[in-house]
Structure 1
Amino acid sequence: MKPFRHAAIATALLLSGTALAQEPVVNAPSGGVSGTLEGSIRSFKGIPYAVPPVGGMRWRPPAPMQPWTGIRAARDFGPACVQPQAKAPTNVYAPAQPMPVSEDCLTLNIWAPANAKKAPVFFWIHGGALSGGSSREPMYDGRKLAEQGVIVVSINYRLGVLGWLAHPALSAESPQKVSGNYGLLDQMAALAWVKHNIAAFGGDPAKVTIAGESAGGLSVMFLMESPLARGTFSQAIAQSAYMVAMPALKKQAYGAPSAEAVGTMLSAGLQAPDLAALRGMDAQAITDGAAKLGFFPFGVVDGLVLPSQMAEAFDQGRQAPVPILTGFNQGEIRSLRVLAPKAPATAEEYEKAIREKYGEFADAFLKLYPAATYKESILATTRDTLYGWTSERLARKQAALGKPAYVYLWDHGYPAMDDRDLHAFHASELPYVFGNLTPLPPLWPAIPENERPLSDAMLGYWASFTRTGNPGTAWPAFGKARNYLHITDAPRASADLMPGMYDHYEAVVCRRRAAGIAWNWNVGLASPKLPTKAKGCD
């Protein structure tokens, strides 16, 4: 497909005169940009890295940008990609007011030390279940991380139905006969832009660390699996990532319909009889409609962008052979209780249900997640099967390739957080990693300034890993001792991460994979009855 220029990009303000001294200018291969100088850090915001296929061109790979002439103003964030909009915040993650959104959203932001020369690059992919979020969120401001001597890049990528829809008609018009994964292709396009342009900003295109949390961590694993992303990054950070079963493009897999079948059902639910009708719908209307119909965006096993299930790819050592830093939070599910099954009335009911569902694995399960504290056990079960097992699995699989692996357990709280029963909740490490304790979303527990020393430590670990592939001497590699950094009131090196947890889930997931049963948050009380035997698992 030939490159084209969307109207919003074509009419963007170009500065033809000489920029003011406080407006640093970079002449990159893709075009010149004028940014902002904040102390020793230059920032450039809202830089387009690809032309987004919109409207009648919707659901196609991102089109490459033609280099522009003149100097483009890059002082303001671009709009977020289209996503459901709430009138008022309803959870700790929601902003005070809706963000500006557009289909014309494929932009990135750069924070770079003013004197950067071949600086390592920290490439940030935001979370939000692949359906929400944006690089413009204040929590992700990269200035303090850049002060550690790295260049920070944050990106937008297509979300929800606009970024992850598969459909037979879309596959038919594709030269590769695939569809879906458009948001992932956006991430790859941004990495390609960085490889081509970051040297002009003082960065080293051969030293790029991809990083993300939650759906961003999931995206990191997608990129590690995909052959199409190989060579665009050299290290990886996956925070609260989840290696769950994925839909297949054209056939049922693990009890789920094919991604194309889901697209066909969605089209019918939206009363759009064909692809032209889908492309003719308003972007916000189709996004909201798909969400109401229960569309769940996810990576699709298509044999090309994502050749296989992630679990299989990592088992076979086909993922990118790069150092990794990974971990999860003690209280992941305290802010995501929708992912956990409803608690029964009594401990006896809990134990009875677990024994019926887990059979020979019930004793091991109940040792890890006892009936005596079953309400806490329910939260811990979902936490470990999604995030704990994934973190250790990533560390083990990268170590098996001979690459360094570092694991953390974020177990930190402070009074405003713990008073709301949100100790170490999902994503609560992010303000510390970026050094941005304020401003926070309105329902986020306010972080006191005396938390700054821990944030400084976290900034140091993440920056050190980005620079060297090692977060520092105080953080031992995972290794045979199953070392990890236990971050409570202060970081402490520890060993033997959650004894028994990984082996239990590895055995359970093996049974499920062999029997064609999905593995995700359908665990504990929500688990299907496990097969008594499975070839290759016993």
Structure 2
Amino acid sequence: MSVSDRRPHPPGTVVAHTTAGAVAGERTGGITVFRGVPYAQPPVGPLRFASPRPPLPWSGVRDATAFGPASFQSIVPGSGEDSLHANVWTPHTTGSRPVLVYVHGGGWERGAGHLPTYDGARLAARTDMVVVTFNYRLGAFGFGLHEDLTDPLTGSCANWGLQDQAALVRWVHDNAAAFGGDPAALTLCGTSAGGASVRQLALLPETGALVRHLVPISACHIWAPANSLTPEDSRTVYEALAKDFGTTVAGLRDVPAGALKDAWERFFSGPPTGRRVESGREYRGPVVDGRWLPAHDVDMPSPAHPSLVVHTRTEGSFYTCPERPTAPTAPATEAELREAVRDVLLKGTAKADDALVDACLRAYREAAAAEDLPADPLSLWTEIWGDLLFRFQILRLAGRHARTGRSPQYVMEFAHPVRPPYFGTPHEATSKFVFGTHGLPENVAEFGDGPLEKRISDTFMDLVASFARTGAPRSAYAPQWPAFSPERPSTLIVGGDRVAQVAAAPKLRQLRFWDDAGVVPCP
């Protein structure tokens, strides 16, 4: 026993023993939280653009009461490269509970597992699960490809953030018992970029075998040119950055992190039509490298794991709500709507001529008339944006799995409306209810904190927790929910005064445009 082990710990401290050493967490409100626990070595210096290495062992007891920094980015303050840390919330460090691993979103370039929205205390307390969040490398440091960055130990030269995620899954499996979790009962859950990661991790041999269930939420499925660089374009970007810094691609390891991040962001600033590469038009996620991402999601098989697939009613209102500081100006006239729709189409294709714009608007107007949906410019623009990036592939991949998959799959539409002046049920509305953080000061104005919101959050938590335990989502506040079939009512609609109801998948008619438009890959 080390000197640190013999030293009395402050009241409320709980010690857990990980494979790298002991950590001291904080007990409060019936939950113990361990913050900032390293799951890999800091990816700095020669380890920038390297595969993650296991954490170096330490002696004594490491303090785990403060979060580590977010991965290097421009959004979350205090970010840095030394960011590969996990956070664990557990009812007790003894026992054998299901473990929920949550992968944060943020377009592969922003976000962090320790943000208040992802506080796991409420979820762990209500469901008696172990909840894990974490950080992974982002942007230029996390998602790209170049052979001059090949790791001599692993042979990998791409997708370092996805490699971090895989290392985290292995770390959780190896350490779950130390936090009162069952290593044989891991559920992967994530939103947006994190939702896509859930599927990708499940298909990797080294991680898929460690996972029991999947909960991809509003998955931003990977395809080029919208949210992935082609290998050729990725090489072009790193070579251009190296040239600008007067170094080689390998020499980018020595460029100050802030300068490299800023240069990467400048490279992809402005409209995609003015950039030096045609792919990565909206986001720069994993690149097809034949190893960590063998192919785009649409060209990969469905995971064999039971899945609970979630999307929101109006994914696009995350981007188009005029009250959001980053939202473009909402179109008010027909001419403005046409250009706004053209800009959305250009996220997925290098050319959007008048005929394509006309066809898109015509299809969405016809669908609105047939299904009694709003057809004002803001609503049409919102639906088109959300379907292109999210809902089309989510539902088409779910339909393919229903036809060909062998594992149970459940599909949920989260439809609880946000409060005015926000509108719809935007992308990322779900995380506030999965974690029960809708009432936090930064969330309450948009999402509310009344009895109905509490009931909906409890329902969402119960569904996820029962699915993590048994593979069948159940809640006292929801009806019996059949596995998904596009041909019959089998989608659970969560939100509104009725809380939860089974119905046919809504708004399928407007998805037909994308089947034949040649913009979004169709499963």
Answer whether TM exceeds 0.5 for this pair. yes
Structural RMSD (CA): 3.3
Q: Please tell me the residue identity of whatever aligns with 1:389.
A: F
Q: How far apart are 1:502 and its partner, in Å?
A: 7.8
Aligned-partner SS, 1:478 = coil
Alpha-carbon contact 2:298-2:397 (below 8 Å) kept: no
Q: How far apart are 1:140 and its partner, in Å?
A: 0.7
Segments of 5+ residues of structure 2 without an aligned counterpart are: 270-282, 321-325, 343-351
Q: Please tell me the residue identity of whatever aligns with 1:428.
A: A
Alpha-carbon contact 2:222-2:286 (below 8 Å) kept: no
Normalising by structure 2, report the TM-score.
0.82
Normalising by structure 1, report the TM-score.
0.80
Q: 1:481 aligned to 471, 484, 488, which one?
A: 488
Aligned-partner SS, 1:291 = helix
Distance 2:147 2:495 in 1: 49
Distance 1:21 1:52 in 2: 30
Alpha-carbon contact 1:32-1:72 (below 8 Å) kept: yes
Cα 1:203/1:502, change in 2 over 3 Å: farther
Question: Who is 2:408 aligned against?
Answer: 404
Q: How far apart are 1:468 and its partner, in Å?
A: 1.6
Q: Please tell me the residue identity of whatever aligns with 2:433.
A: Y
Cα displacement string for residues 11-50 of structure 1 (whole angstroms, at most 9, x for unaligned residues) = xx96652434521111233321111112322111110000
Q: 1:309 aligned to 272, 296, 321, which one?
A: 296
Q: 1:71 aligned to 31, 36, 61, which one?
A: 61
Cα 1:156/1:299, change in 2 over 3 Å: same
Distance 1:492 1:29 in 2: 42
Cα 1:261/1:413, change in 2 over 3 Å: same
Q: How far apart are 1:320 and its partner, in Å?
A: 2.7
Q: How far apart are 1:395 and its partner, in Å?
A: 2.7
Alpha-carbon contact 1:135-1:155 (below 8 Å) kept: yes
Alpha-carbon contact 1:246-1:301 (below 8 Å) kept: no
Q: Please tell me the residue identity of whatever aligns with 2:294.
A: P
Distance 2:363 2:225 in 1: 30
Alpha-carbon contact 1:244-1:386 (below 8 Å) kept: no
Q: 1:281 aligned to 255, 260, 263, which one?
A: 255
Cα displacement string for residues 401-434 of structure 1 (whole angstroms, at most 9, x for unaligned residues) = 22121212222125xx2x2133312212222111
Q: How far apart are 1:488 and its partner, in Å?
A: 2.8
Distance 2:237 2:30 in 1: 50
Q: How far apart are 1:443 and its partner, in Å?
A: 9.4
Distance 1:168 1:369 in 2: 48
Aligned-partner SS, 1:336 = helix
Matched, 1:437 2:438: yes
Matched, 1:26 2:16: yes
Question: Who is 1:6 aligned against?
Answer: none
Alpha-carbon contact 2:35-2:88 (below 8 Å) kept: yes
Alpha-carbon contact 1:365-1:504 (below 8 Å) kept: no
Q: How far apart are 1:80 and its partner, in Å?
A: 0.8
Q: How does 1:87-486 map to 2 (within 5 A)?
A: 98-114=76-92, 116-147=94-125, 148-171=127-150, 174=152, 178-246=156-224, 257-268=232-243, 270-294=244-268, 296-313=283-300, 317=301, 319-337=302-320, 343=331, 345-346=333-334, 350=338, 356-357=355-356, 364-368=363-367, 372-399=375-402, 400-414=404-418, 417=419, 419-441=420-442, 445=446, 447-450=448-451, 451-472=453-474, 474=479, 475-479=481-485, 480-486=487-493
Aligned-partner SS, 1:46 = strand
Alpha-carbon contact 1:326-1:408 (below 8 Å) kept: yes
Cα 1:175/1:444, change in 2 over 3 Å: farther
Alpha-carbon contact 1:410-1:429 (below 8 Å) kept: yes
Cα 1:127/1:348, change in 2 over 3 Å: closer
Q: How far apart are 1:208 and its partner, in Å?
A: 0.7
Q: Please tell me the residue identity of whatever aligns with 1:49.
A: Y
Distance 2:510 2:405 in 1: 19
The share of aligned pairs that are identical, in percent, is 29
Q: How far apart are 1:156 and its partner, in Å?
A: 0.5
Q: Please tell me the residue identity of whatever aligns with 2:448.
A: I
Aligned-partner SS, 1:102 = coil
Aligned-partner SS, 2:9 = coil
Distance 2:336 2:238 in 1: 42
Aligned-partner SS, 1:146 = helix
Cα displacement string for residues 98-137 of structure 1 (whole angstroms, at most 9, x for unaligned residues) = 5322211100011111265221110011111111111111
Q: How far apart are 1:329 and its partner, in Å?
A: 1.7
Question: Who is 1:81 aligned against?
Answer: 71
Aligned-partner SS, 1:413 = coil
Q: Please tell me the residue identity of whatever aligns with 1:412.
A: H
Alpha-carbon contact 2:45-2:253 (below 8 Å) kept: yes
Q: Please tell me the residue identity of whatever aligns with 1:278.
A: L
Task: Report the count of equivalent residues.
Answer: 478
Alpha-carbon contact 1:237-1:324 (below 8 Å) kept: yes
Question: Who is 2:280 aligned against?
Answer: none
